Structure 1
């Protein structure tokens, strides 16, 4: 789909207009609603996606004539310690350049609205989840997608950055050429001495150690394994669970999703199953690095890989599914920011909104499912465990609220404003 459309004058906000030939002429959503401080970026009224604390609008970079995603974070919704984290993370994001990352163009703090705004590339393709549900998937395509994701993860990890919320909803793909872009780095974190100390992410894709709030880059490899599992089975991990509470119980008990057992039963996909287990299972407290996995023999493409291994998803009612939001430090589910920087899907499709499905589920078990306690915890029918064989820990979900000096986030914002130098991603 199209480029920046027509150009608008740099006059008063009320008179700014933009034309998108794909969506029609001069619509109400094409009005310029707001300008960046230096008037390089224009925000339109068209909402691309919306989460609990962030709204993503369509906009335009008037200097380069390209469409952009205007990401507005409501800082009033965060505690002081989290406000500082958001500022630090946005400053970190603008230093990253990789072909598989959404381009980052600028950021600033709006004291009147008490918002942090950052501007990124606007991606017109759909999500990886939508792609694998819609199209047949060959092993060649599967491996090429994994290699692109791993290449990006290797870059992030080399720069001491963990994504922490990698999932098929946050990976975008151009169906024309199969190129992949990883987005929604809003939960990314630079590591200090190799470990992180907060609970953030989407429960279905969170490694068990994340609930201990002490983890490293291996959590991204675990999430990659879950993405691979979803690509091959067309089932979201732990879709058998009735709510977030049940997902957390199974993960912290070391129980894999039912989809992994279903993949194990497919003899023709045995090598793919072994690769997924390699990603999600910690051996001696570690998982393979992204660089190591790029050299894994499984990812070598052969002539036999051209065969289709999955087909478009049939529209059927899934049992026990829930509307998956994200987990933050207090262990409370909230709406995800999934559609950030992406156009081509409606907001309700691209944003996973938090729900209350977990209420009343705690203490229950799936019908016919494995016991959540006793000696069976941590073992699935195929014998795969997510924890080290010698480490059967489980953990409670929670987090400590740290304080910060008053006004700290305002001080940080003095070094924060930067509308960018116009550089595109690497």
Structure 2
């Protein structure tokens, strides 16, 4: 067995538009290889598109993050695990995972999301109004990128938007790489407590929002557990604003740097959906699509992975794999490649992916229609990228018009 001891994961990005060079090296020379983890342990790293999809779709790879052997991407993380804690959806395996996912899947159907479109459009217009009424240059992150998905997910869940600064502050702690496992766990516990209190309030007279409808449905099914629903709410709240916010900022930056690509969607808004897919593939804001624990021997990419061994599926590397995408390092909004793994793949594929797509499409069509002269107000080299975060993005994006 060959080990690649010179690489420690996760790797930091050195350029916002190009993956770490080590990804290409690993993908081309040893696509399934062993790497050193921050806690000194080892895991298999999976770097090619086909193999990543295999890992994400095979039940022999467990999502149980509370298992003592689950690969730890942060030093000291394993010591904070609590096997007796209620598992969130992303940490469940079959047969528990299927029914839990199905219970909330109805909230993200095409029909329900279509009903949300007018309100999302209204929110986007309000935030662009605020940007245009404010000083120049303005910060697109503060004025648009963060508020839009935050307002949308808060309204869906029935979470008071007045509390958004509180949960944003806690979310930053969770996703910052410099945060210790103890601090991250404490921030998650604070958020979990907040959601549990909110759910308890809704139990008395369940309102017509996502959490209220889940209370009614799960009670009727005889499966209602407050802590489990609070965990679901926390997952949707955090994932529902942080990821989309970063994609709005990075994609806007990419459009402003590629006026030829921007001109295409201005001339034909029908191209925006393909542009969204390409931006998702191109940036892949979460480098490691997911970690998994092998629970049954399986061969992947010509390597035998044994039960008890950890695996890291490199989504960013997979989405730049030339075997799956021609000229993968080029931004091409007409690529039409929806088989990227930016939303994962298989049974744990992102629940809110179509909501994210809708938000991104509405933002781009509206922003560039209403502010056709939008431009950067700072050199790209000076922009504050989230090099220190587990989810890539921008802390600020100064723009003018």
TM-score range normalised by the length of the shorter chain: under 0.3
Which TM-score applies when normalising by structure 1? 0.23
Pick the structure with more helix per residue. Answer: 2
The one of the two structures with greater contact order (alpha-carbon pairs below 8 A, sep at least 6) is: 2
Which TM-score applies when normalising by structure 2? 0.24
